[in-house]
A and B are shown apart, each in its own frame.
Chain A
Amino acid sequence: MTDAALVRLERRALAVGTAALIVAAVGAAFSPAAFFRAWLVSWLFCLSIPLGALAIVMLHYLSGGSWGIVIRRVAESTAVTLPLLALFFVPVVLGMHVIYEWAEPGAVAADPVLQYKHAYLNVPFFLARAVLYFVAWIGVAAVLVRWSAERDVVPDLDPRRFRLFAGPGLVVYGLTVTFASIDWAMSIEPRWSSTVYPMMFGVGQVLAGFAFTIAAAVLLRDREPFGRLVNPANLVDLGNLMLTFVLLWAYLAFTQLLLIYAGNIREEVTWYLAREQPGWLGVAFALIGVHFFLPFALLLQRAVKRNPVALATVAGLILVMRLVDDYWLVLPGIRGAERFHWLYVVTPLAVGGLWLAAYARRLRGLALVPANDPLVEQAMAAHGH
């Protein structure tokens, strides 16, 4: 994708995003509840991409390997969207009272469980935590992006400092995403809890990060010398990593289902009972089939992983299913949420369009091949195994 094409993409994304935002705003005037629900899902989905991508960058600093060089720049660049996403948190705050039962004083007064949880689930603490998460994420991202850019200029930059930063950085990522997932998604059903939920949420983010960065790298492969990095050997490694996270996601989702089903405890099964209502059950089966079995079957095949277009298609499919999964996690839990509303389609276009425009703007003229990293040569020379 040339710079001119990027400009066109940015313009189109901006146009679609703005138009959808206007339509969604009109819809919000008529059915505010549906708008806020759809906004939360769209926002969580867009947020998962930069957060997952940052985790991948840090993972790569610790583990090494040619694959990381391919997606390092496209992954790092997603960080530029974090301030925009922080801004997009505002509608979530405005809609808190329709999304989160624990944010309604009336509901809390009527329920001893919510009163007990008030120590954690209350509006000021919720907002303070959100500020803390964004400060942490933007801080970590800023360091990663700045150091990476510095290495392009200063050849003998100490490579150890990337590793020294990435270790604690991943710990920070793990802890913040744990609590963010509890705050923003799990607390929608405030009487329910599952110890594996935050881990499943984080794995979903990293999977979204892989799917997005792989697709982006493939789309940008006509740039030279970046195109030499997007070679079959590196794509196979990236495909395997994406497959690993598909499996990890399915493993965590399945074991949670099995344990809650087997335990059959009243407070726990409510989560799945809400999700086996007509309409949602179909989504559940779609997740099993299209979020797990289909990518699993496709990504096992070397031919798919070596072919850039095929791999990017699978990545795009996974990305769509991540959005569906976010819907499935959030909506059935909200009392009175419609199974379908036209705003559920328009709002992701608004948030996603504006997000993509910000991202495409960042890519313009960016050097996609990091300089002065000894891994680059190895990654360019990599050949099929």
Chain B
Amino acid sequence: MTTATAPPSGPPPVIGAPHTYTSVTDKIAGIVLTQRTGRGWLFGFMLGLALLGLLALAVTMLLYLGIGIWGVNVPVAWGFAITNFVWWIGIGHAGTLISAILLLLRQEWRQSINRFAEAMTIFAVMCAGLFPILHLGRPQFFYWLTPYPNTMSLWPQFRSPLVWDVFAVSTYFTISLMFWYVGLIPDLATLRDRSQSRIGRVAYGVFALGWRGSARHWQRYEIAYLLLAGLATPLVVSVHTVVSFDFSVAQLPGWHSTIFPPYFVAGAIFSGFAMVIVLAIPLRAAYGLQDLITERHLQNMAKILLVTGLIVAYGYFMEGFMAWYSGNRFERYVQLNRIVGPYGPAYLGCLLCNVALPQLLWLQRVRRSAVALFVVAVFVNIGMWLERFVIVVESLHRDFLPSSWGMYYPTVWDWATLFGSFGIFLTFFFLFIRFIPMISIAEMRMLLEEERGEAAA
């Protein structure tokens, strides 16, 4: 029996309750194999399906009637669709960051949260990828974005970051999916071996790829996992860097800013960790996982939230200061318009959610309270959506020439597509927690082994 008790001054333990290999496996695999489908799960899944229905309706209308059903027009040609794209792709950064970078940094606490954070990443990137395609106007020609030989003299403009996006996002999605799947293989084999039903044995068995847990399997698995982590790490940075280029290569005031790449990457991690917290806190309460997703995890995630939030705040501050310092009247006007212009509440809301509220995380009491942390994280997610809205819309709606100014008002279909995208996310996420172990059983067993070693030493 291994009890992981930390010294009183040290951080709380990674695994809370006394656990053994069997009890860890029973607990995590049991959620998938033996627990009955709970009412909460059914409710969440139904909610996801309902929103998915809403999305289906909105997309059908869009394809039937055209982009005109959205509020976008000249001058604001990028409305909710691009805002939602950047927001979802930002959320999709935490999973791979937790899995790859924290793996390379040997932060063992990542092991309880990486599985569902990676799943979250994949579903968020799926949501994100939807929006640029819908925004194309003729989504059926999306493949024109790829360089392929054709008779139409059609070739992508490789100087455009919008084309780089296609490659960055699709590479990121592929690597994230591979990373998640490779990490799943040992657990799928565990489920195959424990499943009571024939369907379960066959289904898990097919995806377990004949895993037998031999030493050779483990050795190759570890190498593959580490290599994928190495590949995924630069991608975490590159995707949001390219997304920031979508704006910052332009000359538009408020878009053309050299701090955009690091500040977008920090913002992506900020929103991604906020979403992990929003998902982790209800999940651990609903499935009684407090001993596996412990106070230590919440505290560490809160700290990362605080640090990335400070970098984001620094980005806002530098934009404001340099607009004044540069003496460029258009830059200064954009900053002023953000506060007192027609979309002022969006920017002030963004400052409240992303700059003011996260400062509460300096207090240990807030970091320790699951409820307070959950509330802050929800506001961060709202704030980050507002930030992208401000960036996309503010700069477009009033540029250099007052004669070309205009307003953007989202229509009911804009909102339906935004909320509908949650349908994809929630549906997949609830299917994931019902059919796949949401915490890596294999890694928890390794963690127990390590803690046992430490206790003996």
Q: Contact residues of A with B, CB < 8 Å?
A: 113, 116-117, 120, 159-160, 167, 171, 174, 178, 182, 193-199, 251-252, 255-256, 258-260, 262-265, 267
**Chain A residues whose CB sits within 8 angstroms of the CB of B362 once the complex forms:** 167
Interface residues as binary, B238-256 with A (CB distance below 8 Å gives 1, 0 otherwise)? 0001000100111100001
Pairwise interchain contact A251-B325, C-beta atoms closer than 8 A = no
**Chain B residues whose CB sits within 8 angstroms of the CB of A256 once the complex forms:** 258
Asked whether B409 is an interface residue with its Cβ less than 8 Å from the other chain, the reply is no
17 contacting pairs across A/B (C-beta < 8 A): A178-B318, A194-B258, A194-B322, A195-B258, A196-B258, A199-B262, A251-B237, A252-B261, A252-B262, A255-B241, A255-B258, A259-B256, A259-B258, A260-B258, A262-B249, A263-B249, A265-B251
Tell me the bound Cα distance from A178 to B315 in angstroms.
Answer: 12
**Chain B residues whose CB sits within 8 angstroms of the CB of A120 once the complex forms:** 325
**Chain B residues whose CB sits within 8 angstroms of the CB of A174 once the complex forms:** 314
Q: Given contacts A167-B362, A178-B318, A196-B259, is CB(A117)–CB(B325) below 8 Å?
A: yes
Tell me the bound Cα distance from A171 to B9 in angstroms.
Answer: 25
Candidates B314, B319, B325; contact of A182 at CB < 8 Å: B325
Asked whether B327 is an interface residue with its Cβ less than 8 Å from the other chain, the reply is yes
**Chain B residues whose CB sits within 8 angstroms of the CB of A262 once the complex forms:** 159, 245, 249
Interface residues as binary, B364-383 with A (CB distance below 8 Å gives 1, 0 otherwise)? 00000000000000000000
Most buried by A among B251, B260, B318, B319: B318
Q: Given contacts A116-B327, A193-B326, A195-B318, is CB(A259)–CB(B262) below 8 Å?
A: no
Q: Write the nearest CB–CB distance from B95 to chain A, whole angstroms.
A: 21
**Chain B residues whose CB sits within 8 angstroms of the CB of A193 once the complex forms:** 322, 325-326
Pairwise interchain contact A259-B327, C-beta atoms closer than 8 A = no
Tell me the bound Cα distance from A270 to B414 in angstroms.
Answer: 42
Q: Contact residues of B with A, CB < 8 Å?
A: 9, 159, 237, 241, 245, 248-251, 256-262, 310, 314-315, 318-319, 322, 325-328, 362
Q: Given contacts A167-B362, A178-B318, is CB(A255)–CB(B249) below 8 Å?
A: no
Pairwise interchain contact B261-A251, C-beta atoms closer than 8 A = yes
* Chain B interface helix/strand/loop/mixed: helix
Smallest CB-CB A-B distances: 7 pairs: A195-B259, A262-B249, A196-B258, A255-B261, A196-B259, A193-B326, A194-B258
Tell me the bound Cα distance from A220 to B159 in angstroms.
Answer: 50
Q: Write the nearest CB–CB distance from B72 to chain A, whole angstroms.
A: 24
Q: Write the nearest CB–CB distance from B185 to chain A, whole angstroms.
A: 24
**Chain A residues whose CB sits within 8 angstroms of the CB of B159 once the complex forms:** 262
Tell me the bound Cα distance from A267 to B241 in angstroms.
Answer: 24
Tell me the bound Cα distance from A182 to B314 in angstroms.
Answer: 15
Tell me the bound Cα distance from A267 to B315 in angstroms.
Answer: 21
Tell me the bound Cα distance from A258 to B160 in angstroms.
Answer: 12
Closest A residue to B259 by beta carbon equals A195
Pairwise interchain contact B310-A171, C-beta atoms closer than 8 A = yes
Tell me the bound Cα distance from A89 to B261 in angstroms.
Answer: 33
**Chain B residues whose CB sits within 8 angstroms of the CB of A167 once the complex forms:** 362
**Chain B residues whose CB sits within 8 angstroms of the CB of A199 once the complex forms:** 259, 262, 314, 318
Pairwise interchain contact A263-B322, C-beta atoms closer than 8 A = no
**Chain A residues whose CB sits within 8 angstroms of the CB of B325 once the complex forms:** 117, 120, 182, 193
Q: Given contacts A159-B9, A195-B319, is CB(A263)–CB(B310) below 8 Å?
A: no
**Chain B residues whose CB sits within 8 angstroms of the CB of A171 once the complex forms:** 310
**Chain B residues whose CB sits within 8 angstroms of the CB of A255 once the complex forms:** 241, 258, 261-262
Tell me the bound Cα distance from A258 to B256 in angstroms.
Answer: 11
Tell me the bound Cα distance from A322 to B217 in angstroms.
Answer: 46
Q: Given contacts A193-B322, A195-B322, is CB(A259)–CB(B260) below 8 Å?
A: yes
Tell me the bound Cα distance from A193 to B315 in angstroms.
Answer: 15
**Chain A residues whose CB sits within 8 angstroms of the CB of B322 once the complex forms:** 193-195
Identify 15 new A-B residue pairs, CB closer than 8 A, beyond the known A195-B258, A259-B245, A259-B256.
A117-B325, A117-B327, A160-B9, A182-B325, A195-B259, A195-B260, A195-B322, A196-B258, A199-B314, A252-B262, A255-B241, A259-B249, A260-B258, A263-B249, A265-B251
Tell me the bound Cα distance from A199 to B322 in angstroms.
Answer: 13
Tell me the bound Cα distance from A197 to B250 in angstroms.
Answer: 19
Pairwise interchain contact B310-A259, C-beta atoms closer than 8 A = no
Most buried by B among A196, A251, A258, A264: A196
Tell me the bound Cα distance from A163 to B428 in angstroms.
Answer: 40
Tell me the bound Cα distance from A92 to B360 in angstroms.
Answer: 41
**Chain A residues whose CB sits within 8 angstroms of the CB of B248 once the complex forms:** 259, 263
Q: Write the nearest CB–CB distance from B232 to chain A, whole angstroms.
A: 15
Q: Write the nearest CB–CB distance from B114 to chain A, whole angstroms.
A: 19
Q: Given contacts A171-B310, A259-B245, is CB(A265)–CB(B261) below 8 Å?
A: no
**Chain A residues whose CB sits within 8 angstroms of the CB of B241 once the complex forms:** 251, 255
Tell me the bound Cα distance from A258 to B245 in angstroms.
Answer: 9
Tell me the bound Cα distance from A108 to B148 in angstroms.
Answer: 56
**Chain B residues whose CB sits within 8 angstroms of the CB of A265 once the complex forms:** 251, 256
Q: Write the nearest CB–CB distance from A215 to chain B, whole angstroms.
A: 24
**Chain B residues whose CB sits within 8 angstroms of the CB of A267 once the complex forms:** 326, 328
Tell me the bound Cα distance from A263 to B331 in angstroms.
Answer: 15
**Chain A residues whose CB sits within 8 angstroms of the CB of B9 once the complex forms:** 159-160
**Chain B residues whose CB sits within 8 angstroms of the CB of A260 once the complex forms:** 258
**Chain A residues whose CB sits within 8 angstroms of the CB of B256 once the complex forms:** 259, 263, 265
**Chain A residues whose CB sits within 8 angstroms of the CB of B251 once the complex forms:** 263-265
Tell me the bound Cα distance from A116 to B329 in angstroms.
Answer: 11
Tell me the bound Cα distance from A76 to B159 in angstroms.
Answer: 47
Most buried by B among A182, A199, A256, A260: A199
**Chain B residues whose CB sits within 8 angstroms of the CB of A252 once the complex forms:** 261-262
**Chain A residues whose CB sits within 8 angstroms of the CB of B245 once the complex forms:** 258-259, 262
